Amino acid sequence: MMSSIEGLSSNATAPLVVAVDDEPEILASLKMMLDHKGYQTACFGSAEALLAAGIPSGAACLLLDINMPGGMDGLVLLELLRREGSSLPTIMVSGTGDIRSAVRALKAGASDFIEKPYSQGDLLAAVQGTITKGCGKPVDTGRVERFAKLSSRERQVLDFVLEGLISKQIAARLDISPRTVEIHRGNMMAKTGARNVPDLIRLAVSSGVVRPGFFTTQ
């Protein structure tokens, strides 16, 4: 298990990325990648290890795996940090493609959400974008207006997508064909400017269009 001291690179002026993942090989790969790109890194093998050591001073970004069997998971850790007053910009990483977890993470204050396997480019773009934007960015009224343009049927499809349903399941719920669902999904993505489902989730949550209580915390 890597500690913050072992994980810190020598460039003390570079942004510090704190990574938490229960897979040592992933932490080693992240450290190598981020060090190579000029970042400092502090790596922890569990949420408990991070809490025991404390978030390193000067941290610019937290890279947090959602699924860490055998201990506290990333969502619980993020929610705990937010309750304790931490506003450290956080990227949540998931290997399951769990839409409910993505929504819960973003509602808890995560700045971004990426899925494994991710490319080096995607990860670096998420880190750089998160550090640049920081937390507490005001709601983009343009985004709200784009969601307001959705038809009532497109909004229904949006709600089901955010529940994690696939097109066949949505079609059965709405008593329409899967092809019609795909058309509504395409129109919805075009109107909102979302590139993919994780991007749609980010836009929906940050724009405040996910209704209160949409998901209850388990």
53 has pLDDT over 60: yes
Q: Give the pTM.
A: 0.70
Q: Looking at domain 4-133, does it have CATH number 3.40.50.2300?
A: yes
Output the six-digit token pair for 5: 């001291």
How high is the pLDDT of residue 191? Answer: 93
For position 205, what pLDDT does the model report? 74
Nearest to 16 by CA among 34, 33, 39, 35: 39
Output 127 or 8, whichever has higher pLDDT: 127
Domain boundaries, the chain: 4-133, 141-206
Q: Mean pLDDT check: name the lowest of 74-83, 85-94, 135-144.
A: 135-144
pLDDT tens digits, 164-188: 788 999 999 999 999 999 999 999 9
Q: What is the pLDDT of residue 6?
A: 45
Say what the pLDDT of residue 112 is.
84
**What's the topology of domain 141-206?**
Arc Repressor Mutant, subunit A (1.10.10)
Contact 90, 62 (CB under 8 A): yes
Q: How far apart are CA 74 and CA 79, in angstroms?
A: 9
Can you tell me the mean pLDDT for 140-165? 84
